Amino acid sequence: MKDSIKVPFIIDAHLDLATNAMTMNRDLTKTVQEIRDKESELGWKDYQDRGNGTVAFPELRNGNVGLVLATMISRYSENGSPLHTMALPGWHSPQQAYAHAQCQLAWYREMEVSGEMVQITTKDGLESHFNMWTENTDSLQKKPVGYILALEGADSIVNLDYLHTFHEQGLRSIGISHFGPGRYAAGTHSDGSGLTVIGKELLKEMNQLPMQLDLTHLTDKGFYEALDIFQGTVIASHQNCRSIVPGERQFSDDQIKCIIERDGMLGGALDTWMMYPDFQLGKDDPKKLKIGMELLVDHFDHICQMAGNSKHIGFGSDLDGLFGLEQTPYDIDNISDLQKFSGILRKRGYTSTDIENIFYKNWTRTLNRILT
């Protein structure tokens, strides 16, 4: 890949695009402002971030965010009740969860048909996609946003046969847990629990496929259990540092060290409660608390100091992960503002090589291990 880029190419390792399209009923072909205006006009109040969205295809292109790990999220819950913290309902059976995930995949396929997106499953595909974005400077061309299919929470994998079905559909990244209890592993807010019996079987089966394990949302117990079983590439797609922002949702220094030793990656997340200690959801104002983009660089700095280099960090913004401007750094209006990190990083002493590593090269390195 070429090293000279005027406006850096960006890989974002965690965006819940299908959830925004199919759960929140957002037409992501419209601009962010058009979506905000529509939701305000309709008076929708079902989610806290109505009228506050930050991600859509025009802004991805404006920010040169040309490749994303795009998720499917479909939970199973025996009681079918939403989690009070995230309002994520659970389906009453794994089969329903699978069908819902397939609905989200169908949306990605429709975006491919309309030229908004293109799925990346091979090294050659990644290389040609990068070249198309960086060599063609025609601003009038609607470049398709590349995506690598990811699963956040593995509940929709009905059994191991379905893992192979998902892989054939292009799935290359799996986070086996999410919030609360899960069929395969306990997730955030379930500290003390770990992998289930079928979770251990799933990881063994994943060892047979070119896939990466996303450690995000695993409990501490599940984290170490997973590392003992899974032998492939490990990442944390949207994860910050516990030593800076306390809480079990962040990773400890020992966990970060484990990822670095496996030559893995951590994607910096931009949800303010992961950037500022004791941020009160629905109460605190990011601007009043001066929660800006630069706070994420504190997490980057910490990981770089541990690693001795800039090769294990990148973006996993999680923007529009069921939160919007009300829970986003005050100096971000939409996802195109990721480009501002270039200037912020330079002021903090990061070199051009470091910035390229963070913006796309580090993720390219790890992604090429799971592409054929």
Reported pTM: 0.95
Query: What pLDDT is attached to residue 280?
Result: 95
Closest CA to 10 of 72, 69, 71, 73: 69
Instruction: Please answer whether residues 243 and 280 qualify as being in contact, where contact means their C-beta atoms are separated by less than 8 angstroms.
Output: no
Angle, alpha carbons 201-206-211 (nearest 5°)? 155
Bridge partners of 173, per DSSP, are 150, 212
Query: What pLDDT is attached to residue 320?
Result: 97
Task: Please give the C-alpha separations between residue 136 and each of 129, 130, 228, 337, in angstroms, as whole numbers.
Answer: 11, 10, 44, 21
Closest CA to 155 of 141, 175, 129: 175
d(CA 156, CA 120): 22
Cα torsion angle, 249, 252, 254, 258, sign: positive
Instruction: Please answer whether residues 145 and 151 qualify as being in contact, where contact means their C-beta atoms are separated by less than 8 angstroms.
Output: no
Element holding 118 (H helix, E strand): strand 117-119
Query: What pLDDT is attached to residue 86?
Result: 45
Element holding 119 (H helix, E strand): strand 117-119
318-331 burial, b at 16+ Cβ within 10 Å, e below that, comes to bbbbbbbbbbbbbe
d(CA 284, CA 324): 13
d(CA 309, CA 46): 44
Catalogue all structural domains in the chain, each as residue range(s) with its CATH number.
Answer: 10-367 (3.20.20.140)
* Per-residue pLDDT tens digits of the chain, which is 372 residues long: 444 446 799 999 999 999 999 999 999 999 999 999 999 999 999 999 999 999 999 999 999 999 999 999 999 988 765 443 444 679 999 999 999 999 999 999 999 999 999 999 999 999 999 999 999 776 657 899 999 999 999 999 999 999 999 999 999 999 999 998 999 999 999 888 999 999 999 999 999 999 999 999 999 999 999 999 999 999 999 999 999 999 999 999 999 999 999 999 999 999 999 999 999 999 999 999 999 999 999 999 999 999 999 999 999 999 999 999 999 999 999 999 999 999 999 999 999 999 999 999 999 999 999 999
Q: Which residues, other chains included, contact 303 with Cβ-Cβ below 8 Å and sequence gap of 6+?
A: 241, 256, 260, 266, 312, 313
Which amino acid is residue 98, in one-letter code?
Y
d(CA 369, CA 242): 28
Query: What pLDDT is attached to residue 7?
Result: 79
Q: Which residues, other chains included, contact 362 with Cβ-Cβ below 8 Å and sequence gap of 6+?
A: 265, 310, 311, 312, 313, 314
Instruction: Count the Cβ atoms, other than its own, within 10 Å of residue 288.
Output: 8
Element holding 75 (H helix, E strand): strand 75-76
Strand spans (E) along 141-205: 145-152, 171-175
Q: Helices in 262-319 by DSSP H: which ranges?
A: 294-307
Query: What pLDDT is attached to residue 79?
Result: 77
Element holding 267 (H helix, E strand): strand 265-268
